[in-house]
Amino acid sequence: MTQWRGVLREYADRLDVTDATPIVTLGEGGTPLIPAPALERRTGAKVWVKFEGMNPTGSFKDRGMTMAVSKAIEHGAKAVICASTGNTSASAAAYAIHGGITAAVLVPEGRIALGKLAQAIAHGAELIQIRGNFDDALEIARELAEGYPVHLVNSVNNDRIEGQKTAAFEVVEVLGDAPDFHFIPVGNAGNYTAYTRGYREDLAAGASTRMPRMFGFQAEGSAPIVTGSVVKDPDTIASAIRIGNPASWHLAIEARDETDGYFGAISDAKILEAHRILSSEVGVFVEPASAISVAGLLERAEAGVIPAGSTCVLTVTGHGLKDPQWALKTLDGADVQPTVVDAETSAVAGVLGLAVPV
Ligand SMILES: *Cc1c(COP(=O)(O)O)cnc(C)c1O
């Protein structure tokens, strides 16, 4: 068996990597595409889940970060900087330390999931909490990168989009063609843009016969692309997509128009419902933002937009262990209390409703 070598080596011929590029990889990419019969029963479509939580730091950001950090070092950078709702900071911190440089990460104070904060700190990033939201943090990161010797690794950096497009290549390789529909969470819309680019390149290279319709979803309290205007105080439990002024807004509109795509808004209640379906019926544990792909599929199927038998791929962007508190609540917000019994077999059998065979 040969080990998966990370996206820069696996797709070297389709990325701007040369012998001069110092490849900084943690083995990202090559994530599973998992059939989801529970979602097929509900929608009549053929459904696969692209589980990006299986990347080294637990989100798709690693695909972009291997490229962004490698290119930054190729260009002589000693430090990278990013604004983050959490996953970008975790990924930047890990790849920077692996590449032997420094990462500075700006996050909105008190609004980042504990698992992500812990990752950035564990990997030794210079972590600074900003009294503001993600959009404020991104503005500061951009200004710092313009005025100081630090290299910006947010998705406004095209290297990030380049690395992330490899996920579309993997989908096409596994299915043998592009799907009819691709469902994806949208925050800054970098990943929506990246998949569209990947699918477009596959089509041009003859690896596939069609472009999927790209269906992106934002949370209702944070849906600037859907409503067409900047959201000053974006609000949703899905912290990874709590973004009021998406950096790749215009690219995303172009991608939507090119693919006969769609942007929709989903309530937090529907996101949590989809989160529950994914974990309890498919066996895939994601963070809330990721579940919006599932909620989006269910909503569009209900709207009658998804013909029976269509192939649908759903990107689920981040691992459930990053933000596990939502699993410990019922849908109406009560705490889930695991049962406690004495350390006796009969007591456990009683709770499980097991009877002694006669
Ligand atoms: C970053 C992120 C998103 C949003 O991706 P964009 O490229 O900003 O649209 C969605 N889900 C998770 C888990 C993320 O980390």
Q: Look at strands 46-51 and 33-35 and give their pairing.
A: antiparallel
Residue 95 alpha carbon to ligand 1 centre in Å = 18
For the segment 15-28, the average pLDDT, to the nearest whole number, is: 97
Atom of ligand 1 nearest to the CA of 190: 7
* H-helix segments, the chain: 7-10, 37-43, 61-74, 87-99, 114-122, 134-147, 158-164, 166-175, 190-204, 224-227, 249-259, 268-277, 288-302, 345-352
Q: Kindly tell me if the per-residue pLDDT of 291 is higher than 80.
A: yes
Residue 41 alpha carbon to ligand 1 centre in Å = 27
Atom of ligand 1 nearest to the CA of 155: 7
For the segment 150-164, the average pLDDT, to the nearest whole number, is: 97
Q: Are 39 and 282 in contact (CB under 8 A)?
A: yes
State which amino acid sits at residue 344.
E
3-state SS class at 102 = strand
**DSSP secondary structure letter of residue 156:** T
Q: Look at strands 311-316 and 181-185 and give their pairing.
A: parallel
């996920």: which residue's tokens?
167
Tokens of 202: 């596959």
Alpha-carbon torsion, ordered 329, 335, 336, 341, to 10 deg: 160
Nearest CA to ligand 1 atom 13: 318
Around ligand 1, the residues with Cβ closer than 6 Å are 59, 61, 87, 155, 185-192, 240-241, 287, 289-290, 317-318
3-state SS class at 217 = strand
Which pLDDT band, with edges at 50, 70 and 90, does 107 fall under?
very high
For the segment 143-166, the average pLDDT, to the nearest whole number, is: 96
Q: Are 313 and 35 in contact (CB under 8 A)?
A: no
pLDDT at residue 330, as a whole number = 84
Backbone φ, ψ for residue 17 (5° rounding): -120, 135
pLDDT at residue 296, as a whole number = 98
What tens digit of pLDDT does each residue of 253-283 get?
999 999 999 999 999 999 999 999 999 999 9
Q: Are 251 and 189 in contact (CB under 8 A)?
A: yes
* Backbone φ/ψ region at 283: left (φ over 0), alpha (ψ -120 to 50), beta: left
For the segment 207-235, the average pLDDT, to the nearest whole number, is: 97
Q: Residue 129 forms beta bridges with which residues?
A: 107
3-state SS class at 146 = helix
pLDDT at residue 245, as a whole number = 96
Question: Which strand (E) or helix (H) includes residue 332?
Answer: none
Q: Are 81 and 96 in contact (CB under 8 A)?
A: no
What tens digit of pLDDT does each residue of 35-61 get?
999 999 999 999 999 999 999 999 999
CA–CA dist 56, 29 (Å, integer): 9
Q: Kindly tell me if the per-residue pLDDT of 106 is higher than 80.
A: yes
Residue 211 alpha carbon to ligand 1 centre in Å = 22
* H-helix segments, 76-113: 87-99
Residue 30 alpha carbon to ligand 1 centre in Å = 18
Q: Greater confidence, 152 or 334?
A: 152
Q: Kindly tell me if the per-residue pLDDT of 357 is higher than 80.
A: no
Indicate the average pLDDT of the chain.
Answer: 96
Q: Kindly tell me if the per-residue pLDDT of 358 is higher than 80.
A: no
pLDDT at residue 331, as a whole number = 80
How long a stretch of residues is the chain? 358
pLDDT at residue 175, as a whole number = 98
Transcribe 59-76 into DSSP letters.
BTHHHHHHHHHHHHHHTT
pLDDT at residue 1, as a whole number = 82
Q: Are 63 and 87 in contact (CB under 8 A)?
A: no
pLDDT at residue 156, as a whole number = 94
